[in-house]
């Protein structure tokens, strides 16, 4: 079996590439929802823990056992890492996917059926490979609110 690569999870280019990032790091810390880094030039970058499955599943102790190496931040207990340049890269957001990411109790397939949207198309909206029209986005938002109201009525 091939040994697991020690490459960081995120590989993106920006103005840090080609420099020795270790010499630029002033401090690195873990917050409740993010790993943060401050560079000597004053820039502060954050990577959300929820965006990386190995970090999401980690204990606080595992997250706090990190070091800065030549590739970025390395979590020894997890055998995973984050490239420092990723902390400063623009982040893409997908509001539909984010809802289903934050609330795994929601079933995207059932939600698609409820709306009458083909499941493969809704899955593409959730994973960000397709973008719904403004009218479809409004329909999805209204349905999410409707479900929220129904849940509140059920427990009240």
Integer CA distances (angstroms), 125 to 39, 95, 131, 144, in order: 36, 9, 6, 14
pTM: 0.50
Give the pairing type, strands 25-30 and 34-39.
antiparallel
Element (H, E) at 27: strand 25-30
Confidence of residue 8 (pLDDT cuts 50, 70, 90): very low
Specify the CATH number for 21-88; select among 3.90.230.10, 3.90.1280.10, 3.30.2020.40, 3.30.365.10. Answer: 3.30.2020.40
Element (H, E) at 143: helix 134-155
Specify the 3-state DSSP secondary structure of 103.
coil
Q: Where are the domains of the chain?
A: 21-88, 95-155
Q: What's the pLDDT tens digit per position in 27-83?
A: 999 999 899 998 888 888 888 888 888 998 999 999 999 988 776 899 999 989 998
Q: What's the pLDDT tens digit per position in 124-153?
A: 898 888 899 999 999 999 999 999 999 999
CB count within 10 Å of CB 6 equals: 11
pLDDT score of 148: 92
Residues in the chain, total: 156
Confidence of residue 99 (pLDDT cuts 50, 70, 90): confident
Which has the closest alpha carbon to 133: 144, 143, 121?
Answer: 121
Q: Which residues contact 1 (CB under 8 A, 6 or more apart)?
A: none
Pairwise CA distance, residues 20 & 139, whole Å: 48
Q: Which residues contact 58 (CB under 8 A, 6 or more apart)?
A: 49, 75, 77, 78
Residue 2 has pLDDT above 50, yes or no: no
**H-helix segments, 70-133:** 95-102, 108-115, 119-127
Which has the closest alpha carbon to 76: 85, 86, 67?
Answer: 67
């Amino acid at each position: 079996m091939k040994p697991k690569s020690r490459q960081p999870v995120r590989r993106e280019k920006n103005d840090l590439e080609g420099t020795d990032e270790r010499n630029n790091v002033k401090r690195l810390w873990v917050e409740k929802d993010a790993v943060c880094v401050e560079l000597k030039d004053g820039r502060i970058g954050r990577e959300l823990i929820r965006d990386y499955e190995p970090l999401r599943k980690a204990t606080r102790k595992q997250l706090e056992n990190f070091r800065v190496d030549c590739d970025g931040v390395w979590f020894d207990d997890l055998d995973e890492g984050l490239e420092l340049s990723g902390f400063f890269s623009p982040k893409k957001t997908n509001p539909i996917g984010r809802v289903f990411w934050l609330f795994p109790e929601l079933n995207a397939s059932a939600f698609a059926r409820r709306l009458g949207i083909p499941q493969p198309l809704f899955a593409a909206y959730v994973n960000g490979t397709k973008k719904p029209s403004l009218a479809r986005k409004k329909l999805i938002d209204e349905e999410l609110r409707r479900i929220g109201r129904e849940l509140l009525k059920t427990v009240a």
